[in-house]
Structure 1
Amino acid sequence: MWMEGESPKKKGGDGGRLFNVELLHNLEPPIDNTVGCVPSVPSMASVFLIGGGDGVGATAVMGAAVVETTMLATEASNFKYEEEYIVNSKGLLLFTCRWLPVDTEPRALVFLNHGYGMECSVSMKGAALRLVKAGFAVYGIDNQGHGKSSGMQAYIPSFDDLATDCSDFFTKNKRKLRILLGKSMGGAMALLLHLKKPEYWDGAVLVAPLCKIADDIKPPQLVISMLRKLTKIIPTWKIIPGQNFVNIVFRDSKIREEVRNNPLFYKGRVSLQTANQLLNVSLDIEKRLQEVTLPFFVGHGEADNVTDPTVSKLLYETASSSEKTIKLYPEMWHSLTYGEFTENIDIVFGDIISWIDGIIATGNSRLEREQKNANDELHAKSRTKRTRLID
């Protein structure tokens, strides 16, 4: 049994195993406004999990008490929703969730990548519901320091570490068409995941991707140089000035109010290290646009004041992908899938689902190739076995 404060480890292995936790309301990580952190589950209740890898009969250690837990799951008429914590390679608990069709095989798998300061279970719920009702299985993960995951709130020590967490979680799913969906920072994440494993992903939906920070909100170069020097000394200092992002990201006033009342959504200043990581990843992707080869749909509001629509145009023109689509939406703002008026979100998701349907209709060369390789291996083993019998 683990002692309080230790990181749970798989017996005889690493810490990357899935551990199921009962997500009771009183276990939901509260926001600690005094220190700007989302406490990890162990810091709240000393929860460590033993066994229960399939979501049933896991044992959690809470202080000195040992309780049986099951994964939270709810079911509607045509889909079910499940939540689960996983442990990453650094021992941090990361919140994951999924929306799965009921009584039918999913037509494809869609993997959600949220924006900066956001999370999957609330701010991307609307997107997930539209997708699961269209027949797709939908998976989400809250990045370190975001939503219900462990870590200092909205602090990104390393964007590459976040990408590794997403890749480790997402790439456990096989033998289905796999589509990344990322908005803003999540769009940058989707592109990085593709660049990490170019042959793994079958397509990406990029919503106002962070390929470049808009000049209107980017500090002058002199300020950037000074802040980069300060980052090496006080990386967690939340000093970066900025506009009220809620008012420039979300067009619908009702959504703005939802965001303001969502304790999982970070609305404070940006730390030096986080700003530096976001700037670096946007610059890196801007330089590597020609390396993008997967089919993609990119959508951008023409009135976006956060990420630059012209860079989405540049992505479309520069990427080496043979199948690519761009949609620029007049008068729409940054948050196309959560923040626009309902009629506009209907238009955006109509385009997204239609594009995914088109990818499905054209077939999947990766799945065909993997199946052929599997059949070839099976035949080779069969021939080897027959040869040995003859000998």
Structure 2
Amino acid sequence: MAGEEEKKETPPNFWGHMPEDEYYASQGVRNSQSYFETPNGKLFTQSFLPLDQEVKASVYMTHGYGSDTGWLFQKICINFATWGYAVFAADLLGHGRSDGLRCYMGDMEKIAATSVSFFTHVRKSEPYKDLPAFLFGESMGGATTMLMYFQSEPDAWTGLIFSAPLFVIPENMKPSKVRLFLYGMLFGVADTWASMPDNKMVGKAIKDPEKLKIIASNPRRYTGKPRVGTMREIARVCQYIQDNFARVSAPFLTVHGTSDGVTCPTSSQLLYEKASSSDKTLKLYDGMYHSLIQGEPDENADRVLGDMREWIDERVARYGPKIA
């Protein structure tokens, strides 16, 4: 029986029991982890730096709902680092190893401001202040990243990258207005209650069944029902972003699977149509699900990563510091 229990034990990382330093070195990157103090609580942060090449630019990554910067999300971070980018990521408040009530997103403006305070701190530091800098957001992290962009100084960021961003909620995922109204009548008491339907989001996000098993085994993944305030705030923020698409003037790439059952492909299409950016790119992938990099078969994930690499390399060449 003891042997069976050991087999069922979740390894400390998605790759198994190899020590972290050894794994990251095998991928060609150097990882560091630390906490960043803010007035709203501590953020758990990570950096992924290329081991044997010069840094071309910095990229600041934000994960999706219920996730964190570890487990499979860091595969995105590692890939960008192997291309020559310094990658920095922070667990959102209420997620992973950061402070806050688990998966409570009752004030997304504050949550975005907390993360962007860390990103801006790094972006303005000596090694990176003169290099191009990009914000990257996946899923709900896309909405949070857009709030960070709106909160930042003009021209603070060279470009934006969105992977299946949450700007438009699919009809079958929208929170019940009646339910939100009734909870709202409790004068905020119910805001943190984990009592909203979860609509089995994970199953709608991941196409590859083996990768679904790995993602589901993340010990830091939030598995409770959505909190009342989280759904209320996501609905508000999505509408706010839709109303302000025209304020987006930075270069951006947005990618989406046409079979995404968690965030509408319309999110990316509307951003592309309404943003005032002169340099904007939309990539739609026929038949792909929500989690384009962690959850698709390898050949699909590699296609998306290849498009991201081509886009960011071109922007660094176009907008980066000119070498005489």
TM-score (norm 2): 0.86
3-state SS of paired residue (2:172): coil
CA contact (8 A) 2:135 2:161 kept: yes
Q: CA deviation at 1:305?
A: 1.1
Give the residue type in structure 2 aligned to 1:208: A
- Alignment counterpart, residue 338 of structure 1, candidates 294, 309, 322: 294
Q: Deviations over 1:172-202 (max 9, x none)?
A: 2222110111111111122111111232011
CA contact (8 A) 1:73 1:82 kept: no
Please say which structure displays the higher CA radius of gyration. Answer: 1
Q: Deviations over 1:248-290 (max 9, x none)?
A: 1111111211122111111210111111111111111011001
Aligned length: 296
State whether structure 2 residue 44 is matched by structure 1 residue 95: yes
How far apart in 2 are the matches of 1:123 and 1:229?
A: 39
RMSD of aligned residue pairs (Cα, Å)? 1.9
Structure 1 segment 192-207 matched on structure 2, within 5 A: 192-197=147-152, 198-207=154-163
3-state SS of paired residue (1:191): helix
Q: CA deviation at 1:102?
A: 2.3
| CA distance 1:261–1:203, shift in 2 (3 Å) | same
Structure 1 segment 1-391 matched on structure 2, within 5 A: 76=25, 78-90=28-40, 92-172=41-121, 173=123, 174-197=129-152, 198-230=154-186, 232-364=188-320
Q: Deviations over 1:43-82 (max 9, x none)?
A: xxxxxxxxxxxxxxxxxxxxxxxxxxxxx96661632110
How far apart in 1 are the matches of 2:300 and 2:142?
A: 20
3-state SS of paired residue (1:188): helix
CA contact (8 A) 2:161 2:252 kept: yes
How far apart in 2 are the matches of 1:301 and 1:347?
A: 12
CA contact (8 A) 1:231 1:273 kept: no
Give the residue type in structure 1 aligned to 2:274: T
CA contact (8 A) 2:138 2:164 kept: yes
How far apart in 2 are the matches of 1:206 and 1:83?
A: 24
Q: CA deviation at 1:226?
A: 2.8
How far apart in 2 are the matches of 1:178 and 1:252?
A: 32
How far apart in 2 are the matches of 1:279 and 1:230?
A: 19
3-state SS of paired residue (2:105): coil
CA contact (8 A) 2:35 2:43 kept: yes
3-state SS of paired residue (1:94): strand
How far apart in 1 are the matches of 2:195 and 2:143?
A: 23
TM-score (norm 1): 0.72
How far apart in 2 are the matches of 1:189 and 1:287?
A: 15
Q: Deviations over 1:125-183 (max 9, x none)?
A: 11111111111111100011101112221112311111111111001222211011111
| CA distance 1:153–1:221, shift in 2 (3 Å) | closer
How far apart in 1 are the matches of 2:271 and 2:139?
A: 14
How far apart in 2 are the matches of 1:224 and 1:256?
A: 31
How far apart in 2 are the matches of 1:86 and 1:362?
A: 32
Structure 2 gaps, min length 5: 1-11, 13-19, 124-128
| CA distance 1:228–1:322, shift in 2 (3 Å) | farther
Give the residue type in structure 2 aligned to 1:351: D
